Structure 1
Amino acid sequence: MNELSVSRRWVMGLYFTVLSFGIIFLHLLPLDTLPARWVMPDLLMGFAFAWTVRRPEYVPVLLLAVVFLMADLLLQRPPGLWAFLMLLACESLKAQIGSLRVTGFPVEWLTVAGMILGVTLAYRLILSILLVEMPGFGLALMQMGFTILIYPVIAGVTHAFMGVRKSNPGDLDTLGDRA
């Protein structure tokens, strides 16, 4: 059984990687040549938080680091800054797993919304301190708001279609340890 669990962990990690690069690919498609008046939610952030809250063993820190560093490089963001902030947020969520497991979805949503707010504002603050040119603050707020609003949909898709469900207290995780 343990070999099956470890193989499931690897398969789900691969699944997350393919999902992440699919989202990045959609960002890179030249669908519109005009300047953006509104922005899409950050689906990569939403799925990373949903997977981290539901099954943190499926998204180890090295996998998250590689995915978000590649996203920084491919989306032409300052290399490593967004990846670092997202790693801090995901690891902070992993540290809160025990309390998030027993609470309802509204508390999870509020916690994730706080992480989204924190990562977005920290990113903007660091870029402004370093005098890096950024898109308008309104677009960043819009993306942050849309990401917070779409999180329940992302969590539902993650639960219903991808099979990444919250573990219950006392369940065994994929490594055979108590969750």
Structure 2
Amino acid sequence: MAETGTLHLWLMRALFAALAGALVFARLLPLDTLPPGWAGPDLFLALTFAWAVRRPEYVPPLLVAGLALAMDLLLQRPPGLWAALTLIGCETLRRRAPALRDLTFVAEWAAVAGTLVAMTLACRLVLTVLIVDQAPLGLSLMQLLSTLVAYPLVAALSHLFFGVRKRVPGDLTPERHVP
């Protein structure tokens, strides 16, 4: 029985890594030769936050940090900045997950929105202080809003297709803190 729980945990972690790989692969595909007119959502961030709020043990910090750093390098962002902010945001939501368990989806969405806004502002502040070129404010806000709009869809798909549900008091699987 314990082996099945451990196997399921590692399978879900592998699924998370595979989904992240598929998202970055899709983002890197040269499907259009013209630059897009809008900034699309950061689906990796939405997926990470949805899983961190619902089942924190599926997204361990080292996996999140490694995947986010790989995405920074592949997407040519400043290496480590967005990865560090992603890890901090994920850990913030992980710590709030027990309190969010009994609340509605709107409260969960508000917690994710607050974390995402803080991350975006922190990123812009660090890049400004270090005098690094950055995207226009409008594009950053557009990506922030599109990620917030995409979050309910990502959470619903995670719930329906992958079984990533909030832990309820009657769950038989014990919640363990897995680093």
Q: TM-score with structure 2 length normalisation?
A: 0.94
Amino acid at match of 2:120: T
- Cα 1:164–1:132, aligned 2, differ >3 Å: closer, same or farther? same
Cα distance in 1 for residues equivalent to 2:116 and 2:12: 24
Cα RMSD for the two superposed structures: 1.4
Structure 1 segments of 4+ aligned residues over 3 angstroms from their partners: 176-179
Match of 2:28 in 1: 28
Q: For residues 103-155 of structure 1, what are the alpha-carbon distances to aligned partners after superposition, in whole Å with 9 as ceiling and x for unaligned?
A: 01000000001111111111111111111111211011001001111111111
What is the alpha-carbon distance in structure 1 between the residues aligned to residue 57 and residue 12 of structure 2?
9
> Taking structure 1 as reference, are residues 122 and 158 closer, same or farther at Cα in structure 2, changes over 3 Å only?
same
Q: Does 1:171 align with 2:134?
A: no
Instruction: Give the 5 Å matches for 1:5-20.
Output: 5-20=5-20
Tell me which residue corresponds to 1:73.
73
String of CA shifts for 1:83-107, please: whole Å, max 9, x gaps: 1001101101111111100101000
Q: Does structure 2 retain, via aligned residues, the 8 Å contact 1:102–1:169?
A: no
For the 8 Å contact 1:47–1:154, the answer to whether it is kept is yes
The reply on whether 1:119 has 2:131 as its aligned counterpart is no
| Contact 2:54 2:165 (C-alpha < 8 Å) held by counterparts | yes
- Which SS does the other structure have where 1:36 is aligned? coil
Where does the alignment leave 5 or more consecutive residues of structure 2 unmatched? none
Q: Which moved more, 1:28-37 or 1:131-140?
A: 28-37
Question: What is the DSSP-based 3-state SS (H/G/I as helix, E as strand, rest coil) of the residue aligned with 1:102?
Answer: coil
1:50 corresponds to 2:50? yes
What is the Cα deviation at residue 36 of structure 1? 3.0
Q: How does 1:77-88 map to 2 (within 5 A)?
A: 77-88=77-88
Q: Which amino acid is 1:132 matched to?
A: V
1:33 Cα deviation from its structure 2 partner: 2.5
1:90 and 2:122 are equivalent in the alignment:
no
Q: Tell me: CA distance 1:178–1:42, structure 2 relative to 1, closer, same or farther (3 Å).
A: closer
Displacement of 1:35 after TM fit? Answer: 2.9
Distance 1:163 1:177, change over 3 A: closer
Identity %: 49
One-letter code aligned to 1:136: P
Q: For residue 140 of structure 1, what is the aligned residue in structure 2?
A: 140
TM-score normalised over the length of structure 1: 0.94
Shift of the 177–133 alpha-carbon distance from structure 1 to 2, 3 Å rule, reads: closer
CA contact (8 A) 1:159 1:165 kept: yes
Report the count of equivalent residues.
177
